[in-house]
Structure 1
């Protein structure tokens, strides 16, 4: 793992992508951002941590307490040491965040000094520490990508629910978050609801832009139905199939969908297929078995290259989330994936997901947490003519291409970075800190 971090080069804007998590960790969004910026003639270096997410275990070839440099298919990656942990311990999780915040500030100083601007993938918010230090010392501007709401999201996961520790943490994290936001040259958010929330909290509206997380467009695109998918589950070609593909977790409240199927016993041709794994899978299975629901089916996780064809074998794609305050401003990546695939959606979730799907005329919406209402919407969808469902799928694809695609959103991000560099106005000229693209 070695590469030269001081290569000089041609006249390209140099960006330091600062993110605590990066592949080989299962975090594809930062890598996709880096590649998209490279495709737009930026020279990108990555400042990240030693991989340990989500297990807290450092993979072979890395050491938690040692800096390393590697070349990832031409992308230079500097890894700063950290305390590896992703368990439920508040102390160990804080040590993970804070150790990387400190080490990245020290280890990354050369990379950040030579950058024209930093792009911070801001989850956790402590990931911005190195970029803030570079702004203070070298006036290097940074664009902050707010991926979730801090400090709210920390406490929503069950950490420090009460007591003096909660109050101290709220004050410290709230103060840090406010400063990170104030110092940023610009802020991007992945949903309109999150933008509204930041503006309500005092961020100027012209400082916050929506940049959607785009889907993996090589995989998520219109496809012909998998001819074997229904047969493997014992489904007929005339059955009406609602599919949920993704994490079967508590936040998804898929028990609502299972209960809705109990309200549809009079429609034996309506089926719910739950694809994937998660902590709630077994309890959902037990619920289905106890209720004698022959119309609810479980399928193992599907390989990415096959998921679009499997989705095309269903009439509707389900998006489900609990009716929690944070989910009102959260846009699950499933929305983009479904729209990119040209599939009609059924949203049983609060906030932006339902507004986007119904506004695009790309599907249906039911109030979250209400099985009877969800069942009624499924009845409505079943009675919808097939050609109308196909029109919804076409509308979904059009909306994705017009608003959520990589082409659209990566260009917005590129323009924001270019503006940040232009406004810097420190007279550094174009020679210092440039490098030849690999």
Structure 2
């Protein structure tokens, strides 16, 4: 048994994104017999608003699925910008010192695991590891500084230079660095992190909780949709990295088809702008719904004939959309926007999981949707479920993480792309 201290800005009961996975990791480690403590915030993502049950609380400790969770008050901006995000992240760092300082006078953790982003939290975890003699691990869900640069969120070259140097420093100080895709691991190694201490653990899926369902068991009735309608679903974070305006532009093209609907489920900084655009264009074939309960995930995913997974060109290989795993587990067919050579493109195309089109191209997206609507997708759907069962199983990946990070000799035993499927000719549209 190991004593594990996890530090991250997102944690359960957040339903999506990093908090979902960190929460499941903490609960798994506790269930397998480890003593787990977490220093985190109050759940706020992806709505960017503290959940009702936690509003008004200050520093607060409670037990959640066998994990001792220390929660800290922090600043949550209503409108997210680069500057406000920095303040948001640093407010948590400062607030969390209320827990870090007393921990210096308690028995040490065997392992302190920092989940990034934000990457600068790792400096506090590193200082603790120096003072207490703990192993220091970083798990990277998103290459935050690279994304901020490539997406134009931070344009000041001097600031970017400082951030890249700080990131390189802290990654090299970690005893182990894990991430969620082979492409992200490659980028981490390019920051002069030793290849012998980097590992890939993809985001997983609970294969028992998410099952393929017929349309009759889906949320179509609740959403005001008929079983005969064609439904194109985007479910997840409504942020700036996805280029979601393309969904609205594509919906204009299908406005004349009364049986085709675009359904957008989720929350995020871009949601209000998207709704305003739909209203301005008087579109009746776009429906917005909030995040659904985790127990309704299978029903939600069964609502779709086609699932959209969109990313901007600049975000390629800086993150891997976490929404992909549940879609595959539900036996859904995906239409992704990704350039050839990127992890997302190679995964979907080579493993026959769906269609791939050029990112940030309306004509390519519409061509891909047209193809999907005219195609029997059963082949892709069967491949999706099979791939998820073999390679994204929660039990397989978390067992590997627990074994490799806490149990001794490390072996790169969880490859992101490894199947017995034979590659086929890709479907790639460029507009």
Please, what TM-score do these two structures have when normalized by structure 2? 0.78
Instruction: Find out whether 1:353 has 2:344 as its counterpart.
Output: yes
Deviations 1:90-127 (A, max 9, x none): 5734641541575554232245x532222221322222
Partner of 1:404: 392
**Following superposition, which runs of at least 4 residues in structure 1 exceed 6 angstroms of deviation?**
50-53, 156-159
Larger Rg: 1
Match runs of 1:209-288 below 5 Å: 209-215=199-205, 217=207, 219-226=209-216, 229-230=219-220, 235-264=225-254, 269-281=259-271, 283-285=273-275, 287-288=277-278
TM-aligned CA deviation for residue 138 of structure 1: 3.8
Aligned to 1:32: 24
Q: Which residue of 1 aligns with 2:69?
A: 77
Determine if contact 2:255/2:284 at 8 Å carries over to the other structure. no
**Any conservation in 2 of the 1:226–1:309 contact (CA below 8 Å)?**
no
The structure 2 residue matched to 1:127, chosen from 97, 121, 132, is: 121
Paired residues, what number?
Answer: 398
- Residue 330 of structure 1 deviates from its aligned partner by 1.4
CA distance in 1, matches of 2:281, 2:76: 40
d(CA) in 2 for partners of 1:298, 1:50 = 26
CA-based RMSD of the aligned residues comes to 3.5
Unmatched 5+ stretches in structure 1? 1-11, 423-438
Moved more, 313-322 or 347-356: 347-356
What are structure 2's unaligned runs of at least 5 residues? 411-431
CA distance 1:240–1:124, shift in 2 (3 Å): same
Contact 1:142–1:420, Cα closer than 8 Å, also in 2 = no
Question: Who is 1:340 aligned against?
Answer: 329
Which residue matches 2:374? 383
TM-score normalised to the size of structure 1? Answer: 0.77
Counterparts of 1:269 and 1:83 in 2: how far apart (Å)? 45
Contact 2:238-2:244 within 8 A present in 1 as well: yes
Alpha carbons 1:14, 1:117 under 8 Å: kept: yes
Q: Distance in 2 between matches of 1:307 and 1:198?
A: 33
Taking the aligned partners of 1:51 and 1:260, their CA distance within structure 2 comes to 33
User: Are 1:368 and 2:359 counterparts?
Assistant: yes
2:207·2:389 contact (CA, 8 Å) conserved in 1?
no
Report SS of the residue matched to 2:121: helix
Please report how far the alpha carbon of residue 231 of structure 1 lies from its aligned counterpart in structure 2 after TM superposition: 5.2
Distance in 2, Cα, partners of 1:230 & 1:50: 32
Deviation at 1:141, TM superposition (A): 1.3
Look up the SS of the partner of 2:137 in the other structure.
strand
Contact 2:12/2:24 (<8 A) preserved? no
TM-superposed deviation, 1:366: 1.1
Q: State the 1:33 CA deviation.
A: 0.5
Q: Quick one: higher RCO (CA 8 Å, sep 6+), 1 or 2?
A: 1
Distance, in Å, in 2 between the alignment partners of 1:282 and 1:48 is: 28
Once the two structures are superposed, what CA deviation does each residue of 1:304-356 show, in whole Å capped at 9, x if it has no partner?
Answer: 32232232132111112222x23433111110111121211111245433322
